[in-house]
Structure 1
């Protein structure tokens, strides 16, 4: 038995054994889809990359050690042209050797290292926010799947209502045919409509299953076949500030440019460091001694590179242009967002008005259908006439369901544009 379970797990995966969900809210669908979306892993990678880069930058203040060596042969060496009785100075050897170790400790770099670390930190936030922008787009896809399933469920309910109406008429016509007061063709027409209704239900069930399958892939969850999808309660007031992740992205991009501007100033400042050089060779520091010897030199070094001054003005101009570019992108986003909000707001108003009219139409159509039901029973109208009124009432109900779901979609779309989902 254990082996059988192991084989089932091997071929079907552990997902099949997770407890299927019997109900799912829209917010849960957002959360599950976000946690399962591969792009979310990119945020962790960005953090790791930023951490490693900052660690590398921090090594600038660690002692820098360089080891070098050389062996040379000179065609001529320094000689002291002095000859004294009983005293002689040996000439230097023409083959000379050096083995050296240089240790440099940076003391002050004008703030370059700190600014570079700040740039990496802000750049990490920028890249993470770009990921958030892409993840936010996932909500719109979940909305379409979620509402698509609900629309198909409502359409099936209306289809079942239509079937009941057709069945009611069929029962009456069947009795009339048995009594010889109606033609059999009337019965066949209603029976054909029932088969058409069955085919419609099969189509709706298949489409619902297809959308739920896609939703399961996005959320990485198992669903019961009759899972209950729950929409949030949506209000009627939709005037609020925009809180989209794109706005945070523009703010971070501006911050990054500001820090990059500080780096330009830091690179123009002088730098100081301490150094120690130790070595072993022939000759040592005393050039008059022709023996191998140890030696060392220590001190403080000041350096100031003036070459960057030539490009400082243009570098700052480039930063200023980049700031303007971000401002233009933000203005364009704001314009597009305001336009979308206006369009979506008008769509909400239109659908609310259509729903009011739909309810009135349904009242009238159902009254006409009830009247035609009595006429069919009395043989005043044919089955085709009755079906026409049944289908008209059904279409009115279908229109109401469609407009109600479209209204929900429009409200969710409005909130999505605001960044409130």
Structure 2
């Protein structure tokens, strides 16, 4: 038997996914994403963005600062006339209120950066979640493959069981040897052993898939997907959205450099309280206040402006190279998978004819044995070869299906 061949491909393919009565592969994709812990990142990213935007919006609220000083004054405190109080201990209170009128676009730009950063984080999560599709493909088609192999074992077992009944009757009538009955039973036990191996392997795959999608699928029926006729070369992967989001973030951050070149305009109010106050003749001054428009302009941004522009361009070029590399590798994988699909199709063209021939050969040996013209070993060998041909055909069909779905996964749906 070619049991090792079956398990080799089963190990490569792995296993499937589940839902209700019949589970489809698309349902498996969805359940895997919903069950994956990383999905919670979406809500966390959105909440973080809301709080950060809220803080940015508060930039135009009045800014108040208060300072109180109680201490010993060294040296001569300014005074005119007699204060009537020569104490060196003074209380000084300072208060200032700033109301921003125009911050040079800093708040607007900061909000753009927050939005762009949030989108980039979400795109990164989307890339990680998309990787689940490959795991689902392996598990899903692995189970389908085992189911097909079990069907072929049932066909072989039915043939052997039918022959056992015939041989028993012949043996009872003295027309067959007891060793023929034993040979048939041994072959039947061999098929039973293979069936158990497949069933335990399938159960393991189902356990893995159940964990991946968060649903017990041990009793589920797996729907066989349709062959995908579309092999277009248009790439629609979440990584492309991630690259676009990263570019938007770099551009948004570069706008902050422009903001640093702008003056800042606001309203200013300030007050000073002194106790004991300064005596100016008959008038005692204990408070002083001032209000007006404040204008601030920090020109250090001018010195760095040229370098900052160059850094922005370099960062954009890095993202461009990363995207070009990703697209190159993706197209390379698509070409590999296209060649694999064509190979599987070519192989399948001969499988039907081989199965028909093996069935005809087995039926011929069956007739020879039934009429006493041929030995039992020839019939058993022919039955085994027919089973192998059917199993290989089923294997190639599932391999073709999986290759087509892997192609869709590589290029993105």
1:75 maps to 75
Q: 2:300 aligns to what SS in structure 1? A: coil
**2-structure distance, mates of 1:285, 1:134:** 70
Alignment of 1:252-401 (within 5 A): 252-282=245-275, 291=284, 293-401=286-394
Partner of 2:63: 64
> 2:83, 2:279 within 8 Å by CA — same for their partners in 1?
no
Asked if 1:150 corresponds to 2:144, the answer is yes
Aligned residues: 393
Deviation string, structure 1 residues 258-287 (Cα, Å, up to 9, x no partner): 111111111121111211113422366886
Structure 1: segments with no counterpart, 5+ residues: 1-19, 81-87
The answer to whether the 8 Å contact 1:66/1:103 transfers is yes
- Within-5 A mapping of 1:222-241: 222-223=216-217, 225=219, 227-241=220-234
Cα distance, 1:350 vs structure 2: 0.8
The change in CA–CA distance for 1:197 and 1:364 in structure 2 (over 3 A counts) is same
Q: Report what 2:11 is aligned to.
A: none
Report the CA distance between 1:224 and its aligned residue.
5.9
Residue number in structure 1 paired with 2:22: 23
Partner of 1:238: helix, strand, or coil? coil
SS of the counterpart of 2:75? coil
Q: Cα RMSD (Å) of the superposition?
A: 2.1
1:135 shift after superposition: 0.5
* Greater mean alpha carbon deviation, residues 23-32 or residues 164-173: 164-173
Per-residue deviation at 1:363? 0.9
In structure 2, the residue matched to 1:202 is 196
**Tell me, what secondary structure is at the counterpart of 2:101?**
strand
Return the offset for 1:60.
1.7
Residues 192 and 294 from structure 1, CA distance in 2 versus in 1: closer, same or farther, beyond 3 angstroms?
A: same
1:130, distance to aligned residue in structure 2 (A) = 0.5
TM-score (norm 2): 0.89
Corresponding residue for 2:49?
50
Q: Contact 2:90–2:274 at 8 Å: present in 1 too?
A: yes
Q: Aligned equivalents of 1:98 and 1:79: distance in 2? A: 15
SS in 1 for 2:153: helix
* CA pair 288-335 structure 1, distance change in 2 beyond 3 A: farther
Contact 1:25 1:230 in 2 (8 A): yes
Distance of 1:268 and 1:35 partners within structure 2: 47
Q: Which of 211, 232, 242 is 2:205 aligned to?
A: 211
User: Does the 8 Å CA contact 1:68/1:99 hold for their aligned counterparts?
Assistant: yes
Match of 1:111 among 87, 105, 117: 105
State the match for 2:8 in structure 1: none
